[in-house]
């Protein structure tokens, strides 16, 4: 019997896992710099939360939820997105509502039962941020700028922002009706799903990916003709704000995004390295969602970045990653010294030293191998230095594996550690 990762999922192995950690670390650094604080919500929530927020007419709710009943007969769903859980937490905990607006963030896996294809997984990761409590265009500008800063921090300077407005309660119904009229007259040229969408939510049709639907979609009326003055003004202010930050921004009048809760601003961010079709992520304003979920009137905006996409987009820029080599490998000269080798490795790393912010990478054998086998292992791992235990009267033996020569013996582990640190610093300076 052999097992494989479930269809549509995959294992992230080193060195990819190390690059993932680096991307998340950069994202956390930028989120912190903008004043956004992380909230870790559960992986699953009550199913109702997603049905009510994401929307019953969306593909996500109709076809893609991972829903199960637990032993207490509760209907639970693996989170397909991060905004609804964060809004739920925002309403549940007064501490999150102390600051107005609240600036919150999340990083973690999401789950959607989608058809697996290149770069699309059933468990995928997102980095997201939400700004709750402001209706002003400045909030939209800050959000989009934050998104772009994260992209730049991970090495994607070449970014285009597409923005659109979906209107509000005053003008969106007008647009919806206009679309319904237009698409109803052309149903014979649309796919079966669209026939359903005309009834439930004709805006969804703009998001249809079926190739034969595209000519009809391309000629559909744009929202820009039906926006009310307030929405038009808002969109204009967001565009001006982004341009004043020297961001490359385009109005994309048919951009809708796949969630029902968006109002006014929606946006997508594209990296040139992924090609025109591939957004790294996007987001939008959701001025009604907090209220819809039982809270007070709270205009808000958020985004999510597809970490998988971000990883793909940065891979090409970087080339192959190297395996991190140990700074040192401790060799036990005889089997009796095996325990001492572990203890020496531990103190050379410096992980228990509170002043050490970057421990050395030091390894030792745990297989009771002979000294010569240990040397081979050290060499295969690319260890720069081998340290021999136990020490003799002159101190610890040290061998430079790269130069292939013995170094001066070191009288103590303390002196050995500072010698290793100096070497690492010198090597980094030389690079
Ligand atoms: Zn279609
Ligand atoms: Zn409006």
302 DSSP β-pair partners: 130, 284
User: Distance from the CA of 263 to the center of ligand 2, in angstroms?
Assistant: 9
229 Cα to the center of ligand 2, angstroms: 7
Read off the pLDDT band of 126 (50, 70, 90): very high
Predicted confidence at residue 355, as pLDDT, reads: 82
**Nearest ligand by distance to the CA of 174:** 2
Report the separation in Å between the CA atom of 408 and the middle of ligand 2, taken as the mean of its atom positions: 77
Give yes or no for residue 259 having a pLDDT over 90.
no
Local structure of residue 394 (DSSP, 8 states): T
Q: Minimum-distance ligand to the CA of 211?
A: 1
pLDDT-above-90 percentage for the chain: 83
Cα(226) to centroid(ligand 2), Å: 8
Span of 112-116, 243-247, 412-416 with lowest mean pLDDT = 112-116
pLDDT confidence tier of residue 321, bands split at 50, 70 and 90:
low
Lowest mean pLDDT segment, chosen from 9-18, 129-138, 208-217, 347-356: 347-356
91 alpha carbon – ligand 2 mean position (Å): 27
Query: How many angstroms separate the CA atoms of 420 and 362, rounded?
Result: 10
Assign residue 133 a region: left if phi > 0, alpha if psi is -120 to 50, beta otherwise? left
Per-residue pLDDT, 35: 98
Give the ligand whose atoms come closest to the C-alpha of residue 165. Answer: 2
Q: Concatenated DSSP letters for 11-55?
A: ---TTHHHHHHHHHHHHHHHHHHTT-EE----SEEEHHHHHHHH-
* Token pair recorded at residue 403: 């130069």
pLDDT of residue 28: 98
Kindly tell me if the per-residue pLDDT of 318 is higher than 70: no
**pLDDT of 242:** 97
**Closest by Cα among 161, 179, 171 to 251:** 161
For the whole model, what pTM was predicted?
0.90
Q: How far apart are alpha carbons 91 and 127 in whole angstroms?
A: 21
If you average pLDDT over residues 273-302, what whole number do you get?
90
- Other Cβ atoms less than 10 A from the Cβ of 182: the count is 16
Q: Cα–Cα distance between 334 and 400 in angstroms, integer?
A: 20
Around ion ligand 1, residues with a beta carbon closer than 5 Å are: 191, 194, 208, 210, 213
238 Cα–ligand 2 center, Å = 15
| Dist. CA 78 → ligand 1 center (Å) | 27
Q: Give the DSSP letter of residue 363.
A: E
pLDDT tier at 276, thresholds 50, 70, 90: low
> What's the 187 CA to ligand 1 centre distance in angstroms?
10
- Cβ contact 12:23 at 8 Å: no
């Amino acid at each position: 019997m052999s097992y494989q990762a479930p269809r549509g999922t995959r294992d992230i192995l080193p060195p990819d896992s190390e690059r993932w950690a680096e991307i998340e670390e950069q994202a956390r650094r930028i989120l912190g710099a903008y004043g956004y604080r992380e909230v870790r919500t559960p992986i699953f929530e009550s199913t109702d939360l997603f049905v009510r927020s994401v929307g019953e007419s969306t593909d996500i709710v109709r076809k893609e939820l991972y829903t199960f009943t637990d032993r207490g007969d509760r209907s639970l769903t693996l989170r397909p997105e991060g905004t609804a859980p964060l809004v739920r937490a925002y309403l549940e905990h007064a501490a999150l509502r102390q600051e107005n607006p609240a600036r919150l963030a999340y990083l973690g896996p999401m789950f959607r039962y989608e058809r697996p294809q290149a770069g699309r997984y059933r468990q995928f990761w997102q980095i997201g941020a939400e700004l709750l409590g402001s209706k002003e265009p400045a909030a939209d500008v800050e959000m989009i700028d934050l998104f772009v800063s994260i992209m730049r921090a991970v090495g994607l300077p070449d970014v285009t922002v597409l923005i659109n407005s979906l209107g509000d309660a005053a003008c969106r119904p007008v647009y919806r009706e206009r679309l319904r009229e237009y698409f109803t007259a052309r149903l014979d040229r649309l796919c079966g799903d669209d026939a359903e969408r005309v009834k439930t939510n004709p805006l969804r049709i703009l998001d249809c990916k079926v190739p034969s639907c595209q000519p009809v979609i391309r000629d559909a009326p744009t929202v820009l003709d039906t926006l009310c003055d307030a929405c038009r003004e808002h969109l204009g202010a967001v565009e001006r704000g982004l341009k004043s930050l020297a961001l490359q921004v385009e109005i994309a009048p048919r951009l809708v995004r796949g969630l029902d809760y968006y109002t006014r601003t929606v946006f997508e961010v594209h990296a040139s390295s992924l090609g025109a079709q591939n957004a790294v992520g996007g987001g939008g304003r959701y001025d009604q969602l907090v209220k819809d979920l039982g809270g007070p009137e709270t205009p808000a905006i958020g985004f999510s970045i597809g970490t998988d996409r971000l990883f793909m987009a940065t891979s090409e820029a970087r080339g192959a990653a190297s395996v991190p080599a140990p700074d040192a490998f401790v060799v036990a000269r005889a089997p009796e010294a095996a325990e001492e080798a572990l203890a020496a490795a531990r103190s050379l790393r410096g992980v228990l030293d509170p002043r050490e912010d970057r421990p050395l990478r030091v390894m030792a054998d745990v297989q009771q191998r002979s000294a010569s086998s240990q040397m081979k292992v050290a060499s295969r791992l690319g260890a720069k230095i081998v340290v021999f235990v136990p020490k003799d009267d002159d101190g610890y033996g040290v061998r430079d594996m790269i130069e292939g020569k013995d170094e001066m013996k070191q009288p103590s582990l303390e002196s050995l550690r500072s010698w290793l640190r100096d070497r690492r610093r010198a090597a980094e300076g030389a690079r």
